[in-house]
Structure 1
């Protein structure tokens, strides 16, 4: 079928080929203007997604983000110690207790992402933690994370991954799925 369509496309005159291409572009633009893109079942949005394995990709993303947050909270607790974390946050001009709050927040987000307790919401709620890390600590060190003090490259990518998870969905093996209202 695809060979037949391709063959018929190439056997048409140039003016007709141009018209077919323009027609396809106009249909895509009309769909975009009328808000059809991104809706469930839209072939323009799902044609390149392997639906048999997409859920496992979401699960892998969710688990890796959760493990990273457990490690991040663990560094604050075991390496810097709670007192050291409080002191560091105070040196940034923030209340020292906020460092303990962030440590608990990261630990809770890591657990929520790993076991699947409202993963989309957990991803959105922990993203400001990384935005704060970028603005308060890493932005002055340049872009690359290999720079002295660590640049903002890694926390920015981590934030984008969290937002992507929130947009994609909870994924399989979720203990408490995020409430999901479908837009009709």
Structure 2
């Protein structure tokens, strides 16, 4: 097993867990409340449902290694929105009242990395790819 792939696997799992938990909390606390908060900062409330769903479903997908590149691209877009619309005004480290965008930026960079590079080790995608290759080789 290659060190690079194990490292990428660890990034994929941790980002998946992080987004899953953030999305889960949005629904647990009442997604309507999140939608109201979105509207209060000038974002259409329906996007709260989309963001929460992408975070929960995307987090699970990353943990499983399913659609890593596409899911990571969606999560990167969400992080750009979070940084620019919510966090940039309080700065990198934030203030005593509000957290900064350092964690958001880190998640953004990791999501971009996973979107560009994918993650093959212990991933459902890889099982599907290998099965398709096996089936196409038997058909020849």
| TM-score normalised by L of structure 1 | 0.64
For structure 1, the 5+ residue unaligned runs are 1-50, 180-184
Of 141-150 and 125-134, deviating more is 141-150
| TM-score normalised by L of structure 2 | 0.83
For structure 2, the 5+ residue unaligned runs are 130-140
What residue is the counterpart of 1:109 in the other structure? 58
What residue is the counterpart of 1:61 in the other structure? 11
Alignment of 1:27-106 (within 5 A): 52-79=2-29, 81-106=30-55
Q: Displacement of 1:166 after TM fit?
A: 2.2
Q: Displacement of 1:145 after TM fit?
A: 4.7
Return the index of the structure with the highest Cα Rg.
1
Q: Displacement of 1:92 after TM fit?
A: 1.4
Q: Displaced runs of 4+ in structure 1, greater than 3 A?
A: none
Alignment of 1:172-183 (within 5 A): 172-177=121-126
Note if contact 2:12-2:63 (Cα within 8 Å) is conserved in structure 1: yes
Count of aligned residue pairs for this structure pair: 128
Normalized per residue, the structure richer in helix is: 2
1:139 paired to 2:88: yes
Q: Over the residues paired in the alignment, what is the CA RMSD in angstroms?
A: 1.9
- The structure whose RCO (Cα within 8 Å, separation 6+) is larger is 2
